[in-house]
Amino acid sequence: MTYVDEIILAYNIKNEIDNPWEGSKTAIVLYAQNYKKFLKNAVFVTAISWILTLIVIVITWGPIAAMLKMGNYDLGYMPLVIAVVASISIKAALIDPFAMTALMQVFFKVTEGQEADPEWEAKLEKGSKKFREMKDKAAGWIGSKFGGKDKSPDADDGLPPQA
């Protein structure tokens, strides 16, 4: 569940959304209306990532203990602590990006061609103050493709007209 914000950002980028609040609102509604599929996938991906992390602990514990032993260090549980810290770091650097990518792929595959269900939008609006705030920001969005300034394409800014 920790990758929802990255999935929303990816949705906005993939779909070239001009209004980030509207795109985020739509992505959240799509996520909510398909939550069962995403929850199952998230549990599976989380389990796999922690299993891989445990494997990394087992793989790194032996060499760390051997290196400390070669240096005549008798530090008790220190090799295990170092192996756990190293494994969590490896998880964050290598395993988590793959997990996030897997969840994004499932999101895009499941939601391809879907429209945001107004019934789900109403449920979210009723149950979440933050969602209502996002909806208000989406409705009040004034932006453009012109450097974040509200300009028309015909405005004279010294640039040649775009085709």
pLDDT single digits (tens) 51-61: 999 999 999 99
The pLDDT of residue 144: 55
CB 15 within 8 A of CB 23: yes
pLDDT single digits (tens) 21-55: 999 999 999 999 999 999 999 999 999 999 999 99
* Higher pLDDT among residues 144 and 142, named by residue: 142
Angle formed at CA 100 by CA 35 and CA 108, multiple of 5 degrees: 55
CB 41 within 8 A of CB 106: yes
Residue 126 CB coordination number (10 Å): 9
CB 143 within 8 A of CB 18: yes
pLDDT single digits (tens) 81-131: 999 999 999 999 999 999 999 999 999 999 999 999 999 999 999 999 999
* Higher pLDDT among residues 72 and 18, named by residue: 18
Between helices 35-70 and 78-90, what is the axis angle to 10°? 140
Domain ranges of the chain: 19-139
